Amino acid sequence: MKKLWISAFVPLVLLSLFATGCGGGASAQGNDTGPTPSQVVPDFDANHFKVDHPERFALVKAGEHFSAPELNATGVVSPDVSRQVPVPSLASGRIVEIDARLGDTVKKGQLLFKVRSTDIASAYSDYRKAVKNEELTKIQLDRAKLLYSNGAVAKSAVEVAQNAEDDAQVDLDTSIEHLRLLGSDPQHPTGIVAVYAPVSGTITDQQITDASGVVALTPPNPFTISDLSHVWVICDVYENDLAQVHVGEYAEVHLAAYPDRVLQARISNILPIMDPNIRTAKVRLEMENPGLMRIGMFVAATFHGLNAEKRATVPSTAILHLHDRQWIYTPAGGGVFRRVEVRAGNTLPDGTQEIASGISPGDQVVRNALVLQNTVEQ
């Protein structure tokens, strides 16, 4: 009986100890489920730099300068489309002779190319038929008039014959004009069609070669003649800078091939469609060609504002060119310098440079930004 009681008591004790341990673990675990205290870490500004000896870096006060805002943009010389004249082929056929080339300067009436065409044979056939029909209707009209004068036919017969003669004459005149349009003499027809320059100018486009085929009055046109005495300059202006560009104002044009020449061009149009990829609008400048500008030439255009603005000026050494941007250093106190991004402008005769944005006149800046930058990197 005693053994039986012990064997029943031991499992009860073990079960009680197991329940007590589980309850303690749950209680301990419950104490750790609260919010963990957060630790605030001060923000680190990559444009703040602390140096050990700030007195080694000389400071200078930004000056003041009044100037009109400027906007620089790149452009390409293009022909004035209103001064371009296409030269189509008047007949379908094969090119047998080319008397002008791309880039040549031609005069009005100058021979450009020749085409061997079967259109001449068809037009001459229509011409010969029209001649025979007109001769026949003329004979019938004379016969009707003779019979009417003798009272053999009614007047209506004469009127019908006269109408037939008029129609035949119209067909004859049309066939003659067709031959002349193709450049062929009705009395001496030939299968070669000659095409002449309709205006004077420079050939800016050529779409034919020897023995190539052409279709009458169908693009692409064999030649395009352009008057290059006036040209266009097409510039790309970013969306944020469009407020500085106005139709009717003038801009300075600098040629990459002739850096010492400065030309004037008038803003004639700002395209109302933006390029969705680079967010720019096409700005068209019209100008007279002094003889230096060629199609496809790169230029730099400078747009000037109307009202002068107050801008800061700093020594050129105070501007740091880093990662395609421009920076300057200003003191922040306690040996700390702050790097500020700026937008530099023109260089002035006294060796200083305009600052369009970033600082104001009177601000303190480091005179030699490159020396401070090298010290920070070390």
Res 73: pLDDT: 92
DSSP string, 189-241: --SEEEEE-SS-EEEEEE---TT-EE-TT-SSPSEEEE-TTEEEEEEEEEGGG
Q: Where is the domain boundary, 278, 304, 330?
A: 304
Asked if residues 253 and 232 have their Cβ atoms less than 8 Å apart, the reply is: no
Instruction: Note whether residue 364 is domain-resident.
Output: yes
Res 335: pLDDT: 82
Residues 325 and 284 in one domain: no
Residues 295 and 353 in one domain: no
Instruction: Note whether residue 209 is domain-resident.
Output: no
Instruction: Note whether residue 221 is domain-resident.
Output: no
Start-to-end Cα distance in the chain: 90
Residues 300 and 320 in one domain: no
| Per-residue pLDDT band at 167 (split at 50, 70, 90) | very high
**pLDDT tens per residue, range 20-72:** 544 444 444 445 555 555 454 444 566 777 888 888 888 999 988 887 778 88
Instruction: Note whether residue 85 is domain-resident.
Output: no
* Residue with more model confidence, 357 or 141: 141
Instruction: Note whether residue 357 is domain-resident.
Output: yes
Residues 286 and 335 in one domain: no
Res 9: pLDDT: 52
| Per-residue pLDDT band at 332 (split at 50, 70, 90) | confident
> Domain of 135: which CATH number?
1.10.287
Q: Where is the domain boundary, 157, 172, 187?
A: 187
> Domain of 257: which CATH number?
2.40.30.170
Instruction: Note whether residue 202 is domain-resident.
Output: no
State percent of the chain over pLDDT 90. 50
Instruction: Note whether residue 316 is domain-resident.
Output: yes
Q: Where is the domain boundary, 132, 164, 187?
A: 187
Lowest-confidence region among 5-9, 121-125, 244-248, 265-269: 5-9
Residues 315 and 287 in one domain: no
> Nearest Cα to 331, choosing from 291, 286, 294, 369?
369
> Domain of 359: which CATH number?
2.40.420.20
Residues 328 and 282 in one domain: no
Residues 235 and 298 in one domain: yes
Domain containing residue 265: 227-304
Res 256: pLDDT: 87
**pLDDT tens per residue, range 58-92:** 899 998 888 777 888 999 999 999 999 999 998 89
Asked if residues 113 and 97 have their Cβ atoms less than 8 Å apart, the reply is: yes
Helix residue ranges, H only, 223-368? none
**pLDDT tens per residue, range 283-320:** 999 999 998 899 999 999 999 876 777 889 999 999 98
Compute the mean pLDDT over every residue in the chain, rounded to the nearest whole number.
85
Instruction: Note whether residue 251 is domain-resident.
Output: yes
Q: Coil, helix or strand for 347? A: strand
State percent of the chain over pLDDT 70. 87
Looking at the structure of the chain, the number of domains it has is 3
The sign of the torsion formed by the CA atoms of 93, 98, 101, 107 equals negative
